[in-house]
Structure 1
Amino acid sequence: METLRERKKRRTREALLRAALELFTTQGYERTTVDEIAEAVDVSQRTFFRYFAGKEDVAFAVQDMAESAFVAAVRARPPHEAPMRALRQAFLESWEEMRETVESVVPVELHLSMYRTIEAEPALLAARLRRLAVTEEALARVLAEREGVDVDGDPRPRLAVAVFGGVMRVTERQWSTREDCGPEVIRTLTTSYLDQVGSALTGNWRTT
């Protein structure tokens, strides 16, 4: 059970996170300072750095939580599942848990606004791609371990993760531009786009 001290620390961290995202999305990432984030929560700069290494760390805190949950979900999939099936089912079956993880910290509207901010800010977009590469490497190693192959000698784990990651990036981009951008929409879009991967890679796109 969470102690009073632990609860207070969690609430402070979450308050700093919400304040940071609100400032990033309203006045811009580059124009926001750590001092402003701390002041918004009425704590010191020193307190901010107890919870986050810096602005980039807080900017991606929610995404990091969701991605860590997804990697754990892939690792927990039944060993008989094929790699792409494991990735797909891990996402679909852990979606509610990931959604609840995000919404326990920030409203989905703020999460969506932050996604748009990341896409629009060159420094954040570069950081996002760098961090995605780390997550994708972790997923490739999970798949390689599941399948009993050498991740450095067999390209298939990284190829599978690259395809899945591409679908997720297309999904997120489409989700962020829709008016009906509720959390269930991204699950529906992901299912639809994963179903089209086979025909997109090997099918004939031309109509006669």
Structure 2
Amino acid sequence: MAKELVESRRTRYTRQAMSDALIDLLRERPLSGITVKALCERADVNRSTFYAHYDSIEELLRDIEDDAMAWVTGALDRITARPDPTDIEDDILRICQYIAGNRNHLQVLMSQKAGIDFPERLLGLIYSRRAVTDRMGAGRADPAEASRRTHFVVSGSIGLIRHWMDTDLQDSPEAVAHTICTMTMPATMTMPGTAHLPTTPIAAD
């Protein structure tokens, strides 16, 4: 866990600079090949500054992952709080927009460049939310069918998001959200207002 420091604008800036530097380095080499010296040079901070915040490169990476997981947790909480299980389009779109806005970090976290820990943590988080997975299998009287549908939707959605990032987000968040929503909703349900979502590509960072 990152060291507890009094939060300030300078502290946030320094941590962001080190996070960005680590992500940049992970695009070039595996985690095992990244040294504190290389990170500090890329982030333009000294070693004492790094160690004031973190004990290791791995701890910094976990802090980056934890920030993303915290946001996803909040998004799942909003989904489970909705009284109508079919009314999740806005939440899925918000997730896709978050991915687009944080593409540089998430492209690395979801790839093999940072190892496989983050995708596994993400899947574990989703499957641990029974209220979310129950909604994915809603409308299925057969528990086995509901379970198969849930695994298909979760794995398929994660796979689609990884493909989206691998293709440098050529599709819009709206288009990806629409595909996920139509996959997620039970076949007996329809989603109003999603037939004409825009599909124009978003601009690159």
**TM-score normalised to structure 1 length:** 0.60
- What is the aligned-residue RMSD (CA, Å)? 4.0
Matches within 5 A, 1:31-180: 31-52=33-54, 54-59=56-61, 61-77=63-79, 78-82=81-85, 85=86, 88-93=89-94, 95-96=96-97, 99-100=100-101, 102=102, 108=103, 110-111=104-105, 114-115=108-109, 119-121=111-113, 124-125=115-116, 127-140=117-130, 143=132, 162-178=151-167
Task: Give the gaps of 5 or more residues in structure 1.
Answer: 103-107, 147-153, 200-208
Q: Is the 8 A contact 1:56 1:124 kept in 2?
A: no
Higher fraction of helix:
1
Q: CA deviation at 1:70?
A: 2.9
Q: Is the 8 A contact 1:38 1:44 kept in 2?
A: yes
* Distance in 2 of aligned mates of 1:8 and 1:24: 24
Structure 1's 14 and 167: CA in aligned 2 closer, same or farther, altered over 3 A? same
Aligned pair count?
Answer: 173
Task: Give the gaps of 5 or more residues in structure 2.
Answer: 1-5, 136-142, 188-205
Determine the structure 1 residue equivalent to 2:200. none
Q: Which amino acid is the alignment partner of residue 139 of structure 1?
A: R
